[in-house]
């Protein structure tokens, strides 16, 4: 990526293109694009990757994460299909800031490594739900319908998997306890 940004290296771009274009195409197909649309979108994404390569910072994200973001934004432009959250009481977003958590506790490079290492270890029934949520962008209730599972099962499996990917081998999985404790 550095070669593309600094030297406009076409060979490096070809390598990136050959690996990612077919995957981005696969992603677009999965999201409902037809063959031609998927091909065009993948092209578009790769052209954007070339043009924005200077903005890529490997300390911030892996190449895959960065390219996914580019693809995601193209997807948003293309499909304009958005969802509104069903906010859960245990959202970090709704909690008071956790001032005890030091900034140093999270480095993006480390996060990427942990996610990768733990992803391959996930049991299939957790991985497939994670895939539906984070890759296909389905809501929990859509996932419940698709996999014919109770909503609570979907939520608890995803929560469990997410805890592991955050590097917690033993995620505190009982929000009611946590919430009660945090109330005080």
Partner 1 sequence: MMQDSATSSFSELYSAYAAGRLDPAFALLLETQSMLRPDVRGALAVSEAISGSLLESAEPVQMSAGAGARALDLIDALEAEETPATRAPMHDDELADLPAPLRDPVLDALGAKGWQGTAPGIRRMKLDVGSDLEVELYRIQPGARVPRHTHGGKEFTLVVSGGFSDETGSFGPGDLAVKGPEDTHQPVGDAGEVCFALAVRDAGLRFTGVMGLIQRVLGK
Q: Please list every residue from 48 through 87 that binds partner 1, using CB under 8 A.
A: 50-51, 61-62, 64-69, 71-73, 75-76, 81-87
2 or 14: CB nearest partner 1: 14
Residue 21 CB, shortest distance to partner 1, in Å, is 5
> Per rule CB under 8 A, is residue 103 in the interface with partner 1?
yes
Contact 68, 46 (CB under 8 A): no
> Per rule CB under 8 A, is residue 165 in the interface with partner 1?
yes
Using CA atoms, how far apart are residues 133 and 151, in angstroms rounded to an integer? Answer: 13
Contact 71, 79 (CB under 8 A): no
Q: Enumerate residues 9-38 that contact partner 1 by CB under 8 A.
A: 10, 13-14, 17-18, 20-27, 29-30, 38
CB-neighbour burial class of residue 136 (10 A; exposed 0-12, middle 13-18, buried 19+)? middle
CB-neighbour burial class of residue 115 (10 A; exposed 0-12, middle 13-18, buried 19+)? middle
Residue 145 CB, shortest distance to partner 1, in Å, is 14
> Per rule CB under 8 A, is residue 169 in the interface with partner 1?
no
């Amino acid at each position: 990526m550095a070669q593309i940004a600094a030297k406009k290296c076409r060979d490096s771009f070809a390598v990136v293109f050959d690996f990612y274009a077919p995957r981005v195409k696969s992603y677009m197909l999965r999201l409902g694009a037809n063959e031609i649309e998927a091909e065009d979108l993948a092209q578009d994404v790769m052209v954007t990757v070339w043009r924005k390569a200077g903005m890529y910072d490997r300390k911030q994200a892996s190449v895959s994460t960065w390219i996914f973001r580019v693809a995601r934004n193209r997807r948003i432009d293309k499909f304009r299909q958005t969802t509104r959250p069903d906010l859960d009481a245990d959202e970090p977003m709704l909690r008071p800031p956790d001032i005890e958590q030091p900034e140093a506790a999270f480095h993006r490079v480390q996060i990427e490594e942990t996610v990768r290492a733990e992803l391959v270890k996930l049991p299939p029934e957790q991985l497939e739900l994670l895939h539906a949520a984070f890759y296909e962008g389905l809501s929990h209730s859509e996932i419940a319908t698709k996999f014919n599972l109770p909503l609570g099962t979907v939520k608890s499996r995803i929560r469990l998997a997410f805890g592991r990917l955050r590097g917690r081998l033993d995620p505190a999985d009982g929000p009611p306890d946590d919430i009660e404790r945090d109330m005080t």
